[in-house]
Amino acid sequence: MKWEDVCQAFPEQWVLIEAVQAYTNEESERILQDVAPLKKFSNSPDAMKAYQELHRENPNRELYVLHTNRKNPNIIEKKWVGVRR
């Protein structure tokens, strides 16, 4: 699904989505080509809790919590070296 289709299917909602296909362009913007909506929520804290649980179990899945009033996901990619022992 495209993001616009998710917005149409779930208007005025918070959604937990998975980026099935995505790339980062030269302006460091993450472009979501194919999105799978996983669950809808009436508020963002509930959506964030669901995200946290899923992210803990599956750290490699690319998940986002977004409101469908966002015309464009407008996600910027940043680098982090990371915490390692």
Partner 1 sequence: MGRCEAIVKRLIIEDGLLITDMELTFRGQSLWIKRVLVDTGSGGTIISTDLAESIGIIAEEDDMIYRISGVGGSEFVFSKTVDSIKIGQAEIRDFPLEMGAMNYGFNLDGIIGLDFLQQIKAIINIDKLIIEFN
Residues making contact with partner 1 (CB under 8 A):
14, 24, 30, 43-45, 47-48, 51-52, 55-56, 59-60, 62-67, 69-70, 73-85
Residue 1 vs 31, nearer CB to partner 1: 31
Residue 27 vs 83, nearer CB to partner 1: 83
Residue 27 vs 84, nearer CB to partner 1: 84
Asked if 38 and 1 count as a contact pair (C-beta separation under 8 A), the reply is no
CA-only gyration radius of the chain, Å: 13
Token reading at 55: 């992210």
Residues, the chain, total? 85
